Structure formats: C-alpha cells, structure tokens
Amino acid sequence: MDHRDRWTARAANELVYVSGMAETIFAKIIRGEIPCHKVYEDDRVLAFLDVNPLSRGHTLVIPKEAVATIDQLSDDSAAAIGRALPRIARGILAVTGAPAYNVLQNNGAAAHQAVFHVHFHIIPKYDDGAGLGIGWKPIRLGDDGNDLAASIAAQVR
Ligand code: 5GP
C-alpha cells in the first residue's frame, strides 16, 4: 500500500496516520498527549517551540503525516509545509527581531536527526552569534557533474 493511502479522517480538520511505524514523541505532541508551545496549526501542519532551543524563537515545523524523512513525504504534506514555513518565519522574525535565520532539516541519524518524524527547524541567528553554527567543508565538483546531474534528474518524479 502506498503510504499516502494510510491516512484516515477521524474528524473534521483532523488527519490521523494509521500505519504501524514506530511512534515518535512528535506523534504524541500532534495528538496533544504531550504539551508543546504551539505557534501554528492547520489540518496538515503543526509548529511549536523547540524544547532545547539553539536561540530564542527556535521553532519546529512538522507535518502531521508520520514519516521519518522528507523523501517519504506526500505531495499534500509537502505543499502544506511549504506554505506554512514562510508564514511562520515571518512571525518569528516579527517577534524576535532577529536579523537572520536558518532553516534546517535533518534526515537520518548520520545527518544529526534525533526524532524520526520529519521536521524543519527555524532557528533565529542573532548578532551575538546565538543560533545555528555551521561546519561547512566544501569539496570540488568533480568531472562527472554533467552525468551526476543527469542521473539525478532522471530519478526525480
Ligand atoms: P533533530 O536533531 O532530530 O533535527 O532535532 C530534533 C529536535 O527536537 C531537537 O532540537 C530537540 O530539542 C527537539 N525535541 C525533542 N523532543 C522534544 C519535545 O518533546 N518537545 C519539543 N518541543 N521539542 C523536542
């Protein structure tokens, strides 16, 4: 069964994921079984303050669809997240006055993911340096750039 078939409408404005995948703490937050400091909610998206923020206003934006990584996300949830992120970012900037921010989205333990339910971090970056620190060690694009891009493009659907 395709994962997008596993949704059921339990009530108006409420979508519940019914597969047997492992439950995360975010599923409990979505259901209201664990409290959160909510900043936004619609029928597919929830956003709340991170319990261990990197900086003031650090917010998590999650789909209600319970999948671990972004490549597994349905088009409907992806569209809903894409619509919500800029709106939430504007709210965070308006309240915090932060001059900059990072949007971070980790997929897989090796990529620093700790909670295996898709989430986007919106992390204000302040003039005193508070916020996300980035270790960025680029390598050169190899001679196979054309082939690599074409191969990936052929897999995008
Ligand atoms: P990851 O490393 O998976 O991208 O980040 C997971 C984030 O979830 C962390 O920043 C962590 O502080 C946050 N987090 C984990 N458990 C909870 C919780 O119960 N409530 C809230 N609000 N945030 C949580």
* CATH number 3.30.428.10 is the correct assignment for the domain at 3-155: yes
Residue nearest to atom 17 of ligand 1 (CA): 51
pLDDT exceeds cutoff 90 at 1: no
CA–CA dist 103, 59 (Å, integer): 10
Atom of ligand 1 nearest to the CA of 37: 22
Q: How many helices (H) and strands (E) does the chain have?
A: 3, 7
Q: Decide whether any atom of ligand 1 lies within 6 Å of the 47 Cβ.
A: no
Burial of residue 87 (CB within 10 Å: 0-12, 13-18, 19+) is: middle
* Portion of the chain with pLDDT greater than 90, in percent: 85
Order of strands, sheet of 120-125, starting from the edge strand that comes earlier in the sequence: 38-41, 45-49, 59-63, 120-125, 100-104
Any idea of the CA torsion for 124, 128, 131, 135, to the nearest 10 degrees?
130
Q: Decide whether any atom of ligand 1 lies within 6 Å of the 76 Cβ.
A: no
At 55 the pLDDT is 98
Contact 36, 25 (CB under 8 A): no
Q: Could you tell me the pLDDT band of residue 21, with boundaries at 50, 70 and 90? A: low
Is the overall model pTM greater than 0.85, yes or no?
Answer: yes
DSSP-derived secondary structure letter, 12:
T
Instruction: Sketch the domain layout of the chain as residue ranges.
Output: 3-155
Which residues are catalytic, by number? Answer: 119
At 145 the pLDDT is 97
Closest C-alpha among 60, 68, 61, 62 to residue 3: 68
pLDDT exceeds cutoff 80 at 25: yes
Q: Decide whether any atom of ligand 1 lies within 6 Å of the 120 Cβ.
A: no
Q: What does the pLDDT look like over 64-102, one tens digit per residue?
A: 999 999 999 999 999 999 999 999 999 999 999 999 999
Angle at 123 (CA atoms; ends 130, 53), nearest 5 degrees: 70
Atom of ligand 1 nearest to the CA of 104: 4
At 6 the pLDDT is 43
CA–CA dist 17, 65 (Å, integer): 6
Q: Of all helices (H) and strands (E), which one includes residue 8?
A: strand 7-11
